[in-house]
Amino acid sequence: MEQQIKPIAAFDDVALEAASDLLEQFWILRDKEPEKYLQIRNRERALRTWFMEKTGMRLVVHRYFAKLEKIPVVPSPWMGIAEFLHKRDYVLFCGLLAFLEGKAVDEQFLLSGLCEDLISDYPGPESLDWVNYEHRKSLIRVLRHATNLGVLHVVEGEIEQFGAGEVEVLYEVPVTARYFMRSYHRELATMKTMEAILEAEWPEDQTIRRRNRIYRRLLLEPVMYSSGANDPDFLYLRNQRNRIREDIENNFELQFELYNNAALLSLPERRAKFHHFPDNRAISGIALQFAGLAREIREQEDIPLQYDGSISLPKSEFSRWVGICRERFSHGWSKLYREADTNLVVRDLLNLLKEWQMADQDPETGIISLLPLLARTRGEYPPDYTGEEKTND
C-alpha cells in the first residue's frame, strides 16, 4: 500500500510570494533585492520544510543570499542558459568559475589576465583564439551572464567593446562568487558521470524518492508525461492526485491538471514574475494558432494518435501544416514572420514547441511528434479583428 503524503500547513501570503520567487530565480541576492530576501528569511522554516518534504530540494539561506537548489530530474536541452548560443559559452563559463576560485573575495583583476588564463586552460579539441570574432562574442555573453547573476562585479570598463577589438575591463570578485557552485555530500572526484551526480541527489527510501521526483517535475518542467499504462510515477500521481492538488493549489497560485497521458501546473491568471507560455514573443502567438490548426487537421484527416497521445509527422508534413497556418493567420503576424521565409517560421516554431515539451523530433529520422500538451492550447483572432494593425517586432 502506498504511503500517504503527509499534510503540511499551507503557506500564508508572504510565504507564497517567497516560494514563487525561489522557484523562478536562480537566487535572491540580499543587496539587490532586500525585500524578497527578508520575506524568505522570515518564512525560512515553513519554506525549508515544504520544499524538502515534498521535492527534496534544499533551501539555502545565507547572510548574503537565499537559494533553492533546483536540480532537475532529467536534464533537457531547454534547461540551458538562454543567453548562451554555443557549447563554447558553457566551457568558458566553467573556465571563469575555475579562475574565480583562485581569487580572494574583493580581489580585482583585468580582463586581459582572465583571457590569458582561459587560453591556457581551455580543454579543446577546439583551440581558443581571441582574434576570432565568434570567440570574443562567446566571452562577452559569459561575462555579461556572470555579472547579471552576481558572481562578478564590473569596477571599470565595458565588456561590450571587447567584440570590436582589444579593450581592458577591471573586475572584482564579490563574496557571492564563493557560493555559486553547490556543495555535495560526496567528493565530486568519486562521481565519474552526470548520472552518478544526479543519483547522489536522491534519498534511499523509494517512496520518498518517488514523491520528491513527481513534485519536482511538476514544479520545474512544463509537463509530466506518462511513459505507458504501467508507469509507476504516473500511477502514484493518480493515486495521490487529491493530496497533490491540495499541496500545489494551497501553496502556489497554480492549478493542477491531470489527463490520461499528462500532468501539469497552469497559471489561472498571467503573472509577470513567472516564465510562462504564451510569452510576449511573436512566435508564441503563432504556436497558439498552429495548435488549433493541428487539432482541426487531425479531425478532418482522421489522423490516428500514437499510444502516448502524440501525432507523428514527417518534417515535410509539419512544414505543410505551418504553411497552411501562415496562409490563414499571417496577416496578423509581426513583420519579421510576415516577411520571413516559411523555413524560418518552421525552425522557430519547432524550437519553441520543443522548449515547452509540446513537440519532439527524432534526431535520426527527423520525424516530429506533436505531444499532448499542444492540444491543451489554442489561439484565434477575435471575430472583429481585421488585421489592419500590424506590429513590427
Are residues 92 and 40 both part of a single domain? no
Indicate which CATH number applies to the domain containing 330: 1.10.10
Rounded distance between C-alpha atoms, residue 83 and residue 144, angstroms = 9
Check whether 144 has a pLDDT greater than 90.
yes
Over residues 146-162, the mean pLDDT reads 92
Band of the pLDDT at 380, cuts 50, 70, 90? low
- Please give the pLDDT value at position 56: 93
Check whether 25 has a pLDDT greater than 60.
yes
The answer to whether residue 271 sits within a structural domain is no
Band of the pLDDT at 2, cuts 50, 70, 90? very low
Are residues 89 and 171 both part of a single domain? yes
Are residues 159 and 209 both part of a single domain? no
**Cα(first)–Cα(last) distance of the chain, in Å?**
56
Rounded distance between C-alpha atoms, residue 91 and residue 345, angstroms = 30
The answer to whether residue 301 sits within a structural domain is yes
| Residues 326 and 344: beta-carbon distance below 8 Å | no
The answer to whether residue 330 sits within a structural domain is yes
Q: What is the pLDDT of residues 348-379, one digit of tens each?
A: 999 999 999 999 999 999 999 999 999 888 76
The answer to whether residue 212 sits within a structural domain is yes
Are residues 54 and 95 both part of a single domain? no
For the chain, what is the domain count? 3
Q: What is the dihedral of CA 224, 226, 227, 231, to 10 degrees?
A: 120
Question: Angle at Cα 80 formed by Cα 128 and Cα 131, nearest 5°?
Answer: 20
- Please give the pLDDT value at position 240: 93
Are residues 292 and 370 both part of a single domain? yes
Check whether 393 has a pLDDT greater than 60.
no
DSSP strand E in the chain: where? 28-29, 59-61, 65-68, 108-110, 153-156, 170-172, 224-225, 255-258, 262-266, 311-313, 359-361, 368-370
| Residues 129 and 159: beta-carbon distance below 8 Å | no
Are residues 355 and 308 both part of a single domain? yes
How many Cβ atoms sit within 10 Å of the Cβ of residue 44?
15
Check whether 319 has a pLDDT greater than 90.
yes
Q: What is the pLDDT of residues 50-92, one digit of tens each?
A: 999 999 999 999 999 999 999 888 888 778 898 999 999 999 9
Are residues 32 and 85 both part of a single domain? no
As a whole-number percent, the residues of the chain with pLDDT over 90 amount to 63
Are residues 63 and 85 both part of a single domain? no
Are residues 131 and 159 both part of a single domain? yes
The answer to whether residue 382 sits within a structural domain is no
Alpha carbon 174 to chain centroid, angstroms: 26
Band of the pLDDT at 271, cuts 50, 70, 90? low
The answer to whether residue 383 sits within a structural domain is no
The answer to whether residue 277 sits within a structural domain is no
DSSP 8-state class, residue 360: E
Rounded distance between C-alpha atoms, residue 251 and residue 5, angstroms = 15
Q: Which of 233, 266, 299 is at the close of a domain?
A: 266
**Amino acid identity for residue 74 in this structure:** V
Q: Give SS3 for 258.
A: strand
Check whether 143 has a pLDDT greater than 90.
yes
As a whole-number percent, the residues of the chain with pLDDT over 70 amount to 92
Q: Give SS3 for 272.
A: coil
Q: What is the DSSP string of 180-205?
A: SSPP-SS-GGG--SHHHHHHTTS-S-
Are residues 67 and 209 both part of a single domain? yes
The whole domain housing 92 covers: 79-179
- Please give the pLDDT value at position 386: 58
- Please give the pLDDT value at position 253: 86
Alpha carbon 70 to chain centroid, angstroms: 11
Are residues 20 and 67 both part of a single domain? yes
Helical pair 44-55 and 206-220, crossing angle rounded to 10 deg = 110
The answer to whether residue 391 sits within a structural domain is no
Are residues 163 and 215 both part of a single domain? no
Nearest CA to 154 out of 124, 191, 109 is that of 109
Q: What is the pLDDT of residues 187-216, one digit of tens each?
A: 777 877 878 877 777 788 888 999 999 999
> Would you state the cell numbers that stand for residue 370, as one nine-digit string?
506533436
- Please give the pLDDT value at position 212: 94
Tracing cell 518552421 back to the chain, one arrives at 346
Residue bearing the bigger pLDDT, 179 or 200: 179
8-22, 133-147, 237-251, 259-273: which has the minimum mean pLDDT? 259-273
| Residues 159 and 143: beta-carbon distance below 8 Å | yes
What strands, in cross-sheet order, belong to the sheet with 262-266? Answer: 224-225, 262-266, 255-258
Q: What is the pLDDT of residues 81-126, one digit of tens each?
A: 989 999 999 999 999 999 999 999 999 999 999 999 999 988 877 8
